[in-house]
Structure 1
Amino acid sequence: MQIAGKLVLVTGGTDGIGRQIALQLQALGAEVIVTGRNPDRLARARGDGFAVISADLTRPDGVEAVLRGLSERSIDILVNNAGMGTDHDFRVGLPDVADDERTIWLNLHAPIRLITALMTALQTRPEAMIVNVTSGLAIAPSAGSPVYCATKAALRSYTQSLRAQLKGTRIHVLEALPPLVDTAMTTTRSGRKLPPQECARQIVAAMRANANEANVGMVRVLAAVNQVAPWLARRIMIGF
């Protein structure tokens, strides 16, 4: 895909992977709109030259806020990047049901609702793209974060079905599967973390190449293992 001249919406684009995707697309000549919740990060995004929409996508009214913020503007690329995790480990304690609901809304309902609301406009563009950011954990889950894994696996399944529906149309569908990335969400996690700049670079490269999947970093290895031995991929990942 030619990035220059495109109007892009990046959810969760004020920090982490989303911010780096926004910066790299901007550097390639795109006009970028980002969504976020934190006022300081939204102010920084304005300073970076992005249009901003304040929206809490962990709630149903967050999607409406994004649509109002877009007004009559027709985007060319939708990047569903916003995501969160939640503690849901009975070995530690009872989960917080409200946190689970926010995670499910942000990771699954919000992308589906945005795609549905923006589909008609995307179909009018000469060239369009939907990018859904899932996770390597969408391939094989970990024991410690079942709700996060379930939402990402569900979004992966939705993305694959959506790609089949839109085959032969002007809308290309890309799934990006990051590994553990060094962001605010993973500050308490140990282990090797990919810098968000490198994660974004690989995702943007996949966008430019019209790839169907961007298996980022070590997810390439996981995806290869899963192709030949899904049981082994599950065994490797369940302990994380």
Structure 2
Amino acid sequence: MNISGNTVFIPGATSGIGLALALALKDRGNTVIIGGRRTDLLEKLGAEHPDLGTVRIDTADPESIRAAAHDVLGRYPQLNVLVAMAGIMQVEDWHRPESFLASAESVVTTNLLGPIRLIGAFVEHLQTRPDATIVTVSSGLGFTPLAVTPSYNASKAAIHMLSESLRLQLADTSVKIVELVPPSVRTALMPGQESSDFAMPLEDFIAETVELLASQPDAKEIQVERVKFLRYSEVRGDYDGTVATLNHADPHGK
């Protein structure tokens, strides 16, 4: 994707990676609309950054997605980039179903059904734009798993394969599929992650990500250097060792 001159909608951008990426893209000359569930937080961010658009959206709710899509396309018909950012991560114990089923269903609804429904709400419009991009967000844990977050790992592995498949299906359109593959980043995604020595500083992640987007406009995956340890463990032939290192070193992951 081109790094400037776009109209970008980022659901799940009221904090963490989503908000930091929204501000970075705005600074690069893009019109950026952020989405989130909390109206009060959206109003606060809109006041702090008056050149950001805001839209209420709950990506776990199909009707909320439909309403938000109608709102966004009504106000920003030039929209050409969708970043499916919203996601949750929860620790689960799969020894007993009562301890993980509700969490697993919530994670899959937000992390997998959410992006699917978002893409469904915007894909026809995006095909009418001459240069459009859908940015999916997977994770290094979609390639090398963290033991305590099974549903998160699985949802991100699914996002990777969804991205690969959509890229094939939409090859005859103007829509590009770019997969953002974060490592563990210092955000509030998990308790303690904001201060984790294992996690990458948020500002460093965003700076490297934006530079990769600028320097690799035709990239299929955006991988900061830090995530390659997880992304290519199986390719390198040291998957088992990487799994062992990850699960010994970091209780949070990303």
TM-score over 0.5 (shorter chain): yes
Equivalent pairs, count: 240
1:26 is matched with which residue? 26
Contact 1:174 1:207 (8 Å CA) reproduced = no
2:167 matched to 1:159? Answer: no
Contact 2:141 2:230 (8 Å CA) reproduced = no
1:123 is matched with which residue? 127
- Farther-moved stretch of structure 1 (217-226 vs 29-38): 217-226
Q: Distance in 2 between matches of 1:207 and 1:162?
A: 20
Q: Distance in 2 between matches of 1:30 and 1:37?
A: 23
2:200 matched to 1:194? Answer: yes
Q: Which of 53, 72, 75 does residue 51 from structure 1 map onto? A: 53
Contact 2:181 2:221 (8 Å CA) reproduced = yes
Q: Distance in 2 between matches of 1:127 and 1:6?
A: 9
Contact 2:144 2:231 (8 Å CA) reproduced = no
Contact 1:159 1:173 (8 Å CA) reproduced = yes
Superposed, 1:148-227 pairs within 5 Å as 148-167=152-171, 169-189=173-193, 190-208=196-214, 209-210=216-217, 211-227=219-235
After TM superposition, give the deviation of residue 96 of structure 1 in Å: 4.9
- CA offsets per residue over residues 103-132 of structure 1, 9 Å max, x none? 211111111111122111111111111111
After TM superposition, give the deviation of residue 182 of structure 1 in Å: 0.9
Identity %: 32
- CA offsets per residue over residues 5-57 of structure 1, 9 Å max, x none? 21100111111000011001100110001111233431232121211111111
Q: Distance in 2 between matches of 1:235 and 1:161?
A: 30
Q: Which of 88, 106, 110 does residue 114 from structure 2 map onto? A: 110
Letter aligned with residue 135 of structure 1: S
- CA offsets per residue over residues 133-163 of structure 1, 9 Å max, x none? 1110011111100011111111111011111
The unaligned stretches of length 5 or more in structure 1 are: none
**Pair 206,162 (structure 1): closer, same or farther in 2 beyond 3 Å:** farther
Q: Distance in 1 between matches of 2:154 and 2:44?
A: 32
Contact 1:17 1:200 (8 Å CA) reproduced = yes
| Aligned residues: CA RMSD | 2.2
- Farther-moved stretch of structure 1 (194-203 vs 17-26): 194-203
2:41 is matched with which residue? 41
After TM superposition, give the deviation of residue 231 of structure 1 in Å: 4.2
Letter aligned with residue 38 of structure 2: N
Contact 1:88 1:94 (8 Å CA) reproduced = no
Q: TM-score, length-normalised on structure 1?
A: 0.90
